[in-house]
């Protein structure tokens, strides 16, 4: 098994130096999107390996690049992913008996959820709004916020014209 001799986050600087770019102001949309996608992919790898702290860090960087890109849909996707990662981290920490760290991670997750809700409300696409609300409802359900999860789920269903109650959430 390979072990790192320094923190893995030190490699993030290599993702910041794509060929042909020297100053942030010179980056085009393709460069920004490539960075965002690279950080998101690295985060996904860390999550699959079970290193949730690193996964969350890389997702925060992906969110930063999504914001720099100015792509509202990419920002919403990154927020949903980040909310989920923070929630899974919180649940993992709780399972290890680290109650305070778990509480902080779950609070971060909720903050990302509610920022996502706020930003989704500004989107023009009702289906996108609905999809975001439904994803965030699932995260809030995982966090144990059942009432908020049900409210978001209902709002998401109403956006696409289905106001029939559901039993997906407990």
The predicted pLDDT at position 151 comes to 95
Judge whether 12 lies within some domain: no
Judge whether 151 lies within some domain: yes
Judge whether 104 lies within some domain: yes
How many domains are contained in the chain? 1
CA distances from 130 to 13, 96, 104 (A): 36, 34, 28
Residue 49 belongs to domain spanning: 27-159
What would the DSSP string read from start to end of 60-109? Answer: HHHHHHHHHHT-HHHHHHHHHHHHHHHHHHHHHHHHTT-HHHHHHHHHHH
pTM above 0.75, yes or no: yes
Residues of the chain with pLDDT below 50 are 1-23, 163, 170
Judge whether 3 lies within some domain: no
Judge whether 81 lies within some domain: yes
The predicted pLDDT at position 103 comes to 97
What does the alpha-carbon distance between residue 110 and residue 4 come to, in Å, rounded to a whole number? Answer: 32
The predicted pLDDT at position 161 comes to 80
Judge whether 8 lies within some domain: no
CATH for 139 = 1.25.40.10
């Amino acid at each position: 098994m390979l072990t790192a001799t320094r923190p893995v986050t030190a490699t993030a600087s290599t993702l910041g130096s794509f060929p042909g770019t020297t100053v942030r102001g010179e980056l085009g949309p393709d460069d920004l999107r490539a960075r965002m996608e690279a950080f998101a992919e690295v985060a996904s790898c860390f999550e699959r390996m079970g290193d949730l702290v690193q996964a969350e860090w890389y997702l925060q960087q992906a969110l930063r690049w999504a914001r720099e890109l100015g792509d509202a849909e990419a920002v919403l996707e990154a927020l949903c992913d980040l909310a989920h990662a923070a929630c899974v981290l919180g649940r993992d920490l709780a399972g290890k008996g680290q109650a305070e760290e778990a509480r902080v991670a779950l609070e971060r997750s909720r903050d990302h959820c509610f920022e996502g809700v706020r930003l989704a409300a500004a989107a023009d696409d009702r289906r996108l709004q609905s999809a975001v609300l439904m994803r965030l409802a699932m995260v809030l359900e995982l966090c144990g916020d059942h009432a908020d999860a049900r409210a978001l789920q209902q709002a998401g269903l109403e956006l696409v014209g289905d106001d029939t109650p559901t039993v997906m959430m407990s």
